[in-house]
């Protein structure tokens, strides 16, 4: 009997440890086994995100670097920021991010969706996009658009996005 009590007590300690750092602003999404350890994936909407962590996350997927001052302005002016992270040695580690801009009434566009390669194909991108859609719909925004690279079109289609509805084509203007 003592053997089982020791086993259960050990598992309780492990479970409590992964939640110790979660703050009131964090929402637990799911538990993951990562690198042989159990981690708690948390969702946050705080615009006070660590820009250096975001830059490191974007580096992992090969995005072109953008000036941090402009990234900070983009985040500050976004309608919604959502990111996923976990705690490692009491430090928050960013593993997924997305933001949306909006006219606050009719339309919103989702931007900068990124998931760390080690966490891709585990359902976190779906959680991120579904949460953004839920928040936008809660704000009574019905038209949600996004820009996607060709290699991720199937992912967005699986979440209900369609390409070029009603034959509308996006157009772009770039300075010469």
For the chain, what are the domain ranges? Answer: 2-161
Q: What is the rounded CA–CA span in Å between residue 37 and residue 4?
A: 21
Helix then strand count (H, E) for the chain reads 5, 6
Lowest mean pLDDT among 27-36, 95-104, 119-128: 27-36
Determine the distance from the C-alpha atom of residue 51 to the mean position of all C-alpha atoms in its chain, rounded to a whole number.
14
pLDDT of residue 137: 96
For the chain, state the CA radius of gyration.
19
Q: Which residues are catalytic?
A: 156
Q: What is the rounded CA–CA span in Å between residue 127 and residue 133?
A: 10
pLDDT of residue 75: 96
Whole-number mean pLDDT of the chain?
84
| Domain 2-161 falls under CATH 3.40.50.2000 | no
The predicted-structure confidence for 74-94, as pLDDT tens digits, reads as follows 999 999 999 999 988 888 899
Q: Tell whether the model's pLDDT for residue 6 goes beyond 90.
A: no
């Amino acid at each position: 009997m003592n053997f089982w009590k020791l086993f259960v007590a050990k598992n309780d300690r492990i479970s409590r440890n992964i939640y110790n750092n979660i703050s009131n602003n964090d929402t637990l999404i799911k538990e993951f086994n990562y690198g042989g350890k159990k981690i708690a994936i948390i969702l946050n909407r705080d615009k006070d995100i660590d820009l250096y962590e975001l830059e490191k996350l974007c580096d992992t997927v090969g995005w072109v670097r953008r000036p941090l001052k402009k990234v900070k302005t983009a985040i500050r002016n976004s309608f919604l920021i959502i990111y996923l992270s976990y705690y490692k040695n009491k430090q928050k580690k960013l593993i997924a991010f997305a933001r949306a801009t909006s006219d606050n009434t009719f339309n919103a566009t989702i931007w900068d969706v990124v998931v760390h390669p080690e966490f891709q194909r585990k359902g976190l991108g779906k959680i991120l996009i579904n949460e953004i859609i839920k928040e936008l719909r809660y704000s009574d925004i019905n038209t949600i658009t996004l820009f996607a690279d060709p290699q991720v079109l199937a992912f967005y289609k699986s979440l209900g996005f369609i390409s070029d509805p009603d034959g509308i084509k996006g157009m772009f203007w770039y300075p010469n």
